[in-house]
A = this chain, B = another copy of it.
Amino acid sequence: MTTQKPDLVTRTAQSTATAVHVRGRDLVNDLIGKYSFTEMLYFLTSHRMPEAVETRVLDACLVTLMEHGLTPSAVIARLMADSVPEEPQVAIASGLLAIGSVFAGTTESCAALLLAIERRIAAGEVDAVENVAREYDKAKKPVPGFGHGTHKPDDPRTIRLFALAEELGKATRYVPLLRALGKAVDAALGRHITINATGAIGALLLEIDVPVSAMRAFSVVSRAGGLVGHLLEEKETHSGRAIWAAAKKTVPYSEENQS
């Protein structure tokens, strides 16, 4: 059994009878009314308040992932809202559980790849970008942050995010690196693969010093906001019932090949 380290503490927050302290700041007197949700999210994970351009970049990333229509997340949340109507947090949490490796989880792995390339370049490997592209091609593995089922040939969100980063002076290192990787990937594969929004967000978040380990969690927060809209609409339209009926029709029961 693990025993408690004598110095185990939390630096995140505490509440007392007359105050709430958040990472050394007084929530009531220093934070409420003075900072936005987005600034606080940055503060809680990077332990300093963001500069104005950093906030704009983070807001752009959060806004980008809030909505993408009837994603599996949204479909799950709608079905759950129909089954457990009294508890909105159950519908939202269920939808968020689906933000895994398949959907939206690639922000983190794209950012990690960019950092790895940067280290290889720093170690003297001048062709690291091209080499990485060829390595993925050889291994027949998808490059994290590349490819999209719907957005072809390009993900319009990526184009906008890159332009915004440039406009804000935040395309100094990882945005150009991801762009270079995109060209190398196209060359290695002999065809154009889109840089998807989650990949682009990985680069933008690196530009503003967000830790890689926070990135998937940021996608989760962003999508939590989006799911609220689905939840309110579900209360009016009861789409969950129609989706359920469609699912049964789409996957009919068969007695054939019952072993």
Give residues in A with beta carbon < 8 Å to B: 1-5, 8-24, 27-29, 31-33, 35-38, 40-41, 44-45, 47-48, 56, 59-60, 62-64, 66-70, 72-76, 79-80, 82-90, 92-94, 96-103, 105, 149-152, 156-157, 159-161, 164, 167, 211, 213-214, 216-218, 220-222, 224-233, 235, 237-259
Contact = CB atoms under 8 A, between A and B. Distances in A.
Overall SS of chain A's interface: helix
A40 B225 contact: yes
Contacts of A98: 79-80, 83-84, 89
Contact of A259 (B1, B41, B44, B47): B47
Contacts of A87: 84, 87, 90, 100
Contact of A253 (B4, B11, B37, B246): B11
A8 B251 contact: yes
Contacts of A83: 72-73, 97-100, 102-103
A157 B32 contact: yes
Contacts of A16: 150
Contacts of A240: 72
B82 A248 contact: no
B75 A79 contact: yes
Q: Which 6 residue pairs of A and B lie closest in terms of their CB atoms, listed nearest first?
A: A14-B253, A44-B229, A24-B258, A84-B100, A9-B254, A83-B98
A195 B63 CA distance: 33
Given A8-B242, A17-B152, 7 more contacts: A10-B239, A18-B151, A37-B63, A70-B247, A73-B83, A217-B228, A217-B232
Given A28-B157, A220-B89, A4 B242 contact: yes
Given A101-B84, A255-B24, A15 B72 contact: no
A36 B225 CA distance: 12
B258 A23 contact: yes
B20 A68 contact: yes
20 contacts: A10-B233, A28-B156, A28-B157, A32-B60, A33-B160, A36-B38, A36-B63, A37-B59, A37-B62, A37-B222, A41-B225, A70-B248, A80-B94, A82-B102, A84-B102, A87-B87, A90-B90, A93-B97, A211-B232, A220-B224
